[in-house]
Amino acid sequence: MADVASAGGLPIVCAGVAVGHNGTRILADVDLAVTRGNLTLILGPNGSGKSTLLRVLHGLLTPTAGTISWGGASVRPRRHAMVFQRAVLLRRSAAANIRYALDLAGVRGAEAESRIDDALAEVGLRALAGRSARVLSGGEQQRLALARAWALRPEVLFLDEPTASLDPKASRAVEEIVRGIHARGTTVVMTTHNLAQAKRLAYDVVFLHEGRLVEQSPAQGFFNAPRTSEAAAFLEGERL
Partner 1 sequence: MGTFSDSLTLAAALVAHLDPRFVDIVALSLRVSLTATALAACVGLPLGAAIAVGRFPGRQALTVLLNAMMGLPPVVVGLVVYLLLSRAGPLGAFGVLFTPAAMIVAQTILITPIIAALSRQVVADAWGEYREQLTSLGAGTFSAALTLIWDTRYSLATVLLAGFGRAIAEVGAVMIVGGNIDGVTRVMTTTIALETSKGDLPLALALGIVLIAIVLIINALAQYTREWARVRYG
Ligand X SMILES: Nc1ncnc2c1ncn2[C@@H]1O[C@H](COP(=O)(O)OP(=O)(O)O)[C@@H](O)[C@H]1O
49 contact choice in partner 1, ligand X, Mg ion, none (CB below 5 to 8 Å, kind-dependent):
ligand X
Query: Phi and psi dihedrals of 201, rounded to 5?
Result: -100, -35
47 binds ligand X (CB under 6 A): yes
In 3D space, the residue among 163, 160, 115, 127 whose CA is nearest the CA of residue 143 turns out to be 163
50 binds ligand X (CB under 6 A): yes
Q: Which of 7, 45, 51, 107 forms a contact with Mg ion (CB under 5 A)? A: 51
21 contact choice in partner 1, ligand X, Mg ion, none (CB below 5 to 8 Å, kind-dependent):
ligand X
52 binds ligand X (CB under 6 A): yes
Q: Which residues pair with 207 in a beta bridge?
A: 43, 215
Q: Which residues pair with 25 in a beta bridge?
A: 20
46 contact choice in ligand X, partner 1, Mg ion, none (CB below 5 to 8 Å, kind-dependent):
ligand X
Q: Which residues pair with 81 in a beta bridge?
A: 157
Sheet with 80-83, strands from edge to edge, namely 80-83, 156-160, 187-191, 39-43, 204-209, 212-218
Residues that bind partner 1 (CB under 8 A): 55, 58, 60, 78, 81-82, 84, 88, 90-92, 100-101, 104-105, 132-135
132 binds Mg ion (CB under 5 A): no
49 binds ligand X (CB under 6 A): yes
Q: Which is nearer to ligand X, 50 or 182 (CB)?
A: 50
User: What angle, 0 to 180 degrees and rounded to 10, lies between the N-to-C axes of helices 94-104 and 109-122?
Assistant: 130
74 binds ligand X (CB under 6 A): no
Query: Phi and psi dihedrals of 160, rounded to 5?
Result: -105, 105
Binding site for ligand X (CB under 6 A): 21, 26, 44, 46-52
